[in-house]
Structures are given as structure tokens and as C-alpha cells.
A and B are shown apart, each in its own frame.
Chain A
Amino acid sequence: MRAALIALLGAGLVLGLGVARGAPEDDRKAFQDFYTERFPDTPFEDFANGLYSIDENRREEWEQMEEFPQYEFDIDAGEELFHEPFANGKGYADCFPDYESGVRQNYPHWDPGRAEVVTMELAINLCREQHGEKPLKYYRGPLAQISAYLAYLSRGNVIDVKVPADDPRALAAYEEGKRHYYSRRGQLNFSCASCHVDAVGRLLRAELVGPALGQVSHFPVFRKTWREITTLHRSYAACSRQLRAASFGPQSREYRNLEFFHTYMSNGIPLNGPGSRH
């Protein structure tokens, strides 16, 4: 009797939450509508170019950068690293059999066996661990280069993140990422949305704030100010610190769930990584 009551209460709660928070598809539609209405001159696919999809002058500068992109060296280095066999004779290709036609569009994804969100970068390290190799550091260096190579092979594939409806844990991870995106944090009491939604297209201390739609499509990114190829979570950390909050670790559960939500919002945008940024 008591158990039945608790179950009933639980079901009511889940239903209530479901109605109040809306399904991922409703979120995605509202999110994308916001940007396409705010920037009616930007074709949908062009949001893949981030900041440069909404600003003419910066776009010209960036197009020059892209003529001789500095990330080319990293793609080559990533290719070499990718094909270097592990000590056990296996290689990355055993973990990513479809790498040639591109695999990045499937990341991040919910892994029911691991009961967590797996990103491209985590998958690379899981592959290493599975074959007895030490994991690589996440922000930069070899892992970012391998990621750049895989991104390059995935160019043109369309982001297609799924939140499996039959696994409430996947929805919970998505919700956690969404909550992170909209929660105000840090001494400035800003959320990601305070800047990338509310202040999009405006100057913030001489920096133009880019749209969140398409923001993930071009990673990893060669950032001129950092002078190296860097992964998405390094940008997350930089923005966390910009709002004067402590950052979470690269590939922390928080950032992976954030990436899950953030990337779902860009479903339908073609991948164009790696990219050059200031």
C-alpha cells in the first residue's frame, strides 16, 4: 500500500516535471527559432561559423585566417597519431571503424552501459584505456589533434544528437546540462544564456558575443590568442571563469552533460571543424 502510494507520487512527479520542462525537441525548436528570428539574414547552416555568421567585418578577417589555417598542422599530426598502433597491436580504427566517413556527428551520445554521456574526447581516451594505454590530457596536445583529425573527416555531416526517450537517465543528463546552461553562477551572477542568448551580437569589453546555435560545430578550435588547438571544454572553462565561477574539470560530468544539451540545441547544423578563432 505504502509502496504503491510512493510509486504513484513518483509517477506524478515525473509527469509533472515532464510537462513543466518540455521535451528536448520543444527546447531545440524554441532555441533555434530564437536565433533565426534574431538574425534573419543568416542562413541556418551558416550558424556553424559561430561569431562570424553574424558579423561582416570579423568574418572577412576570419576568412583570411582560414586561407592558411594554422590547424592544418594539427590535422596532420592527429592523422599520424591516429594511425600509430598501440602496444597491443590494435589502434584507434578498431574503436572507430567508420572514422573515414566521419563519426563526430554521433557525439556526444548517451551510453546506457556506462550510464553517462560519452563525448568524442572521452571516447578517444576510453579507446586507449581499453587497449591498455594511458589516457591523454584533455585541453590540448595529442588528444586535441586526434580530435581535430576526426572532426576534419566528419566535415559536412550533420549534428544529430539523440536523447533516447526510453531511458530516463539520458533525459536526466540532458536536463542537468540544460539547467547548467541557464543557471546563474559566479561573482557576476551570469549564466551561459545571459551572454550567448540575452547579449548575443553585442559587444562585451570589445568582444562580440556569438550565438550558441552552431557554437559546437567547429571544435576543436585553433585559437590565435592561445596559439594552439584546444577542445570544447577548454572554452567552457574559459567562459566559466569569465563569469567568475570556478570551472569544472575537462570531461567532468557537469561539462559532458552541458555538451549534451548544448550540442542537441545545434542538431541540424553541419560540422565544420576544426576551426580558427581569435
Chain B
Amino acid sequence: MAHRAGAPARGQHRRRIAVSAEAMMTPACRPCRRRMIQVLATAALALGAWGFAPQAGASDEAAFAAAYNAAAEARKAVRKAGFEWRDLRTLLRESKKLGEKGEYEKAVELANQVQRQAELGLMQAAEQESAWETAVLK
């Protein structure tokens, strides 16, 4: 199954790097000093790249693209199983529209909703694989 959508938002990236760097700086972690330098260098590079990024934030756009693609894949899978729920199509279309307008946060939220409902539909399909027979009039 497609991986869960939603790469971390900007702030989260920075925080995670900071935390791991801090942990490496304790005296107990001398052997990982080289690793620390690597991490810091990567962070610096990332920050540098940030400065050149367009206003909206390339990582937001990427996060949206990942969330949207994962949602579209999940929808395809549940359609194939014949258990798509009613609103997936509209929600996905809405998500795309918002993404094109640069409203990434809302767009990702809708894409995640699509993914969740698609997964529930797939669970329903798996359950009904045998459950339907218990309902048959006999």
C-alpha cells in the first residue's frame, strides 16, 4: 500500500535536526562526532537551499504532491475493489484545486481524508469478502 501521505512541514524538519544534533553533542557520544558534522552540514545545506526556494516553499509543494499522489493511488485501489465511497472524487478534485492555488495545508488535509476513506473502503471490501453471505435470505 502507498505510504502515508504528508512529509513533515517546514518547522518540523528543523526541530528534528536540532534534536538529533543536541543528542549527539553529549559527551557519551564521541564516536558519532563525524556523523554530527555530517548532519550539521546537511542542515546548513538545507537552510541554504531554503533561501533560494520560492515564496510558497518547495517542501510544502512536495508534501502536497506526495499526499495527493498517495491519495490518488489509494482511490484507484478502492475503486478497483469496487468499494469506493461517495465523496472521494469530489474531495480529491477539491484537494487538487487548492494545491494549484498554493493552499497546501488545506489541500493536504483533504488528500489525507481521501486516503483515510479509501483505506476504510478497502477494509470494508476485505470484511465483505465473506460477511455478505451471512445476510443472504435463506
Which A residues are closer than 8 A to B by beta carbons?
A: 20-22, 26-27, 30-31, 34, 178-179, 182-187, 189, 191, 193-194, 197, 240-241, 244-248, 254
Add 15 more A-B contacts to A185-B83, A241-B86 (CB < 8 A): A21-B136, A22-B138, A26-B138, A182-B132, A182-B135, A184-B124, A184-B132, A186-B85, A187-B85, A191-B135, A197-B137, A244-B86, A245-B86, A246-B79, A246-B85
Are A245 and B84 in contact, CB atoms less than 8 angstroms apart?
Answer: yes
Compute how far the CA of A31 lies from the CA of B132 in the bound complex, rounded to whole angstroms. 15
> Closest A-chain residue to B131, C-beta based?
A184
> Total interface residues on B, using CB and 8 Å?
20
Identify A21's interface contact among B128, B131, B133, CB under 8 A: B133
Compute how far the CA of A179 lies from the CA of B131 in the bound complex, rounded to whole angstroms. 10
Known: A179-B132, A246-B86. A185 touches B124 (CB 8 A): yes
B88 at the interface (CB under 8 A from A): yes
B22 at the interface (CB under 8 A from A): no
Which residues of B in the span 82-96 have a Cβ within 8 Å of any Cβ on A?
82-89
Are B136 and A182 in contact, CB atoms less than 8 angstroms apart?
Answer: yes
- Pick 11 A–B contacts, CB within 8 A, sort by A: A20-B133, A26-B138, A34-B137, A179-B132, A184-B128, A185-B83, A185-B124, A187-B86, A189-B124, A240-B86, A244-B85
B117 at the interface (CB under 8 A from A): yes
Residues in chain A near residue B79, CB distance under 8 A: 246
Compute how far the CA of A74 lies from the CA of B117 in the bound complex, rounded to whole angstroms. 41
Known: A187-B85, A245-B84, A246-B86. A30 touches B138 (CB 8 A): yes
Q: Taking the nearest CB of chain B, how far is it from the CB of A168, in angstroms?
A: 19
